[in-house]
Amino acid sequence: MRARHRQGLIALNLALLTILAIMTFSPLATGQPTQVRARGQYSMVAGEITGGTPHVVYVTDANNREMIAIRWNNSRRTLDGIGFRDLNADAKAVNQGGPR
């Protein structure tokens, strides 16, 4: 009986290793990014906006050239994102004479 349990555990381990190998070496899903993001270098600046809660914090990632605006929601005690800008896309649009 003991040998039978050992054989079952060996079979289970082999099955789990096979599944792990398949998951490790399978190609990326279409929604996953193919290149790795650069490590961010962040700066934060406090500011104001018109309407609603006037206080906002702008967080800029200089390496990836992105910016997000966030504010504190006191009732839920969370930070809410209120805007995002891709600064690379904005710079390209300005250089090509597009809308600002």
The sign of the torsion formed by the CA atoms of 69, 74, 78, 80 equals negative
Give the pLDDT confidence score for residue 99 in this predicted structure.
57
Q: Global pTM?
A: 0.56
- Residue of 24 and 45 predicted with greater confidence: 45
Please tell me whether residue 93 adopts helix, strand or coil conformation: helix
**Least confident range of 23-27, 66-70, 76-80:** 23-27
- Coarse DSSP helix, strand, coil percentages of the chain, rounded to the nearest 5 percent: 35, 30, 35
Per-domain boundaries in the chain: 2-95
Q: Which residues are bridge partners to 59 per DSSP? A: 44, 68
